[in-house]
Amino acid sequence: MNQQNKIVDWMRDNGLLKSSAKEVDTLYIEYGAGRAGLSSYVAERLEKAENIKFIIVDRDTRRRKLDKNFREEFKTFRQKMDIADFNLEKFVEHSKESN
């Protein structure tokens, strides 16, 4: 079993995988994401829901990004920047204004 699967299993066991549209908004953030492997594994375990969002932060764009596999099912944002420069509070405020 690979590392991503173990992390996602731990998330499930600890109630961090929300898959019901009736639940509160859920935001998954992957810092230093590279190809977004962990987000891809999380998305595979979730049911499609409007209230689930992914933010993928990495300072380098990569070929064969895995987030393309779940962008149609979940609102997904890829930020190309150093994780030290990412301001979650500003991002959340901006995303609320654009909805």
Cβ neighbors of 1 (< 8 A, separation 6 or more) are: none
Non-local CB neighbours of 30 within 8 Å, separated by 6+ positions: 36, 38, 39, 54, 55, 56, 57
pLDDT for position 9: 92
Express each pLDDT in 43-89 by its tens digit.
988 888 788 889 999 888 766 678 888 888 888 888 888 888 999 88
**Both structure tokens of 97:** 């204004």
Predicted local confidence at residue 19, as pLDDT: 58
- H-only helix segments in 1-98: 3-13, 37-44, 88-98
Instruction: Tell me if 66 sits within 8 A of 42, measured CB to CB.
Output: no
